[in-house]
Structure 1
């Protein structure tokens, strides 16, 4: 579980979906003057150089944020996201979720960032700082349960693990169920990949097969809980049959705020054709539990 480095994938289509959702939820929290807590269970390095060897090896950002920087539409939420990213993009960088949260936070808000990878925690500490930011070298699953409920009753948890091993999907479900019981007023966002078979070589096929169906099982486990609400958001840049590995990704949002679904739906109507890698690209916003 310590080989994953997000620097290979920074700024890809999954980041666009995840970080747009993150931004809208934080802005919703900021509508009230009282402070909030932000937890990031798998923070990574926090900031990524798109010119690095890792990013240049995969070039995934070209199918994600690079396309979005050409956006000419009128959706105000997409424009807000692009304006934020542009501050970093002009220097060849892309901000991870910890840096986006830090950029948006106010003096009364608090950020808790967790990372377990020995090298990434050093990168995170070098890239992110602030008087209301605390950084922990610890397992994010254990850390979230240890630190909830927080002193501030409102807040957001972003859960974005690598899913390197198939068992991590069940870990996410178990941890989220426990954490929501401890902090029922918090908003929880779980990012998950949508994976299809690859045909490059036998090891790729085995890797994909070990993960296929796991995201669906994760969603089913969450859907069986007595949550106030559960919103599913997915962006597929191609179809499952055409996909080579990760063909899309999704967000499972617990305690989603009023009109968040409508705003994401409106944004995805414009993002989907822009990020499409085939004519079969699609997106959806679906309530799995309604309050």
Structure 2
């Protein structure tokens, strides 16, 4: 059993990018009355305590959500995000992607949560519950392939692995390609880290155990598949050469909906200066596969 616990990282700058992207995508699906299915392959605990031993050990939330709470914003997307998460922050909590999805979904929508970790699945079941919510204790990649396609044609899949082992980057590519063949109408949203001191990308992922350069190779692997479209969104809170470890993160969006690129870019214009660790912070929104 892998040991990764997101409680050490909840509310960091990677979560901010992931959850703003998630909210925008769900909001787009809600523009139609017909229901949709939301699948979270690596659900974690659902809700996290920022005063826990794990969160206080790393204090990553201080360089994430705490850079934003109480700040004024002119962007509606950022305002909606802050309105949602600030209500949890008052109680020293941060909502994970399952809780955010639950708060946004309607009675006609379905929530499917998958988690493998023995302790986290217990926490998830304690934190989450209600009608139209299914919780599965199983491997996220296996579960996604087993549960697709759902009865609903419309939907979104959030894939947010720990990348605890380097081979997992290739596993994401293989699983997404297989899932897309079964359910090509869904939106696939894949979070990935940007890691400092990157080594040369190796598409085979077999040259070393290092995770440096793996995200870039993962994107190259996805780009070789004939998806309808593929959008890359990245937020860098500093330059890679100025950081030790994760200096930013990205979202790879397959079947990105109309105008999502413009809306996330407008949000990042306001977010990036607030999240910046120095004047080297930046963001980018690029189509790797355009329709």
Query: Which TM-score tier does this pair reach, normalised by the shorter chain?
Result: over 0.9
Match of 2:59 in 1: 59
The superposition leaves residues 89-138 of structure 1 with CA deviations (integer Å, 9 ceiling, x where unpaired) of 11110000000001111100000000000000000000000111000000
Map 1:80-95 → 2, pairs under 5 A: 80-95=80-95
Check 1:116–1:109 CA distance in 2 against 1; reply closer, same or farther (3 A cut). same
Map of 1:257 onto structure 2: 257
Q: How much does 1:196 deviate?
A: 1.2
Tell me, what secondary structure is at the counterpart of 2:83?
Answer: helix
The number of residue pairs the alignment matches comes to 282
Alignment of 1:98-117 (within 5 A): 98-117=98-117
Question: 2: CA distance between counterparts of 1:81 and 1:184?
Answer: 28
Superposition deviation, residue 209 in structure 1: 7.2
- Calculate the TM-score normalised by the size of structure 2: 0.95
Separation (CA, whole Å) in 1 of partners of 2:139 and 2:196: 28
Q: Root-mean-square deviation (CA), in Å? A: 1.2
Task: Tell me the secondary structure at the aligned position of residue 99 of structure 1.
Answer: helix
1:214 corresponds to: 214
Is the 8 Å Cα contact of residues 223 and 288 (structure 2) preserved in structure 1?
A: yes
CA contact under 8 A between 2:41 and 2:115: conserved in structure 1? yes
Unaligned runs of 5+ in 1: 199-207
- Counterpart residue number, 1:174: 174
Q: CA separation in 1, counterparts of 2:14 and 2:215?
A: 14
Q: Contact (CA 8 Å) 1:197, 1:209: kept in 2 or not?
A: no
Matched, 1:126 2:126: yes
Mapped partners of 1:105, 1:76: distance in 2: 19
3-state SS of 1:241 partner? helix
Q: 2 CA distance for matches of 1:267 and 1:209? A: 35
* TM superposition score normalised by structure 1: 0.95
Residue of structure 1 in register with 2:239 after alignment: 239
Q: List alignment gaps of at least 5 residues for structure 2.
A: 199-207
Tell me the residue number matched to 2:202: none
1:38 corresponds to 2:38: yes
Other-structure match for 1:190: 190
Contact 2:229 2:290 (8 Å CA) reproduced:
yes
Secondary structure at the counterpart of residue 32 of structure 1: coil
Decide whether the 8 Å contact of 2:166 with 2:209 is kept in 1: no
SS at match of 1:158: strand
Runs of at least 4 residues off by over 3 Å: none
Residues 16-67 of structure 1, C-alpha deviation per residue, up to 9 Å, x if partnerless? 0000000010011001001000000000000000011111111110111011
**For the residues of structure 1 that align with 2:9 and 2:213, how far apart are their CA atoms?**
22
Please name the residue that 1:202 is paired with.
Answer: none
Q: Write out per-residue CA displacement over residues 186-236 of structure 1, whole angstroms, 9 at most, x where no aligned residue.
A: 0000000001149xxxxxxxxx97001100110001101110000000000
Are 1:163 and 2:163 counterparts?
yes
CA contact (8 A) 2:238 2:281 kept: yes
Residue 2 (structure 1) shift: 1.6
Counterpart position of 2:29: 29
**In structure 2, C-alpha distance between the alignment counterparts of 1:73 and 1:127, rounded to whole Å:** 30
SS of equivalent to 1:211: coil
Alpha-carbon distance in structure 2 between the residues aligned to 1:178 and 1:148: 10
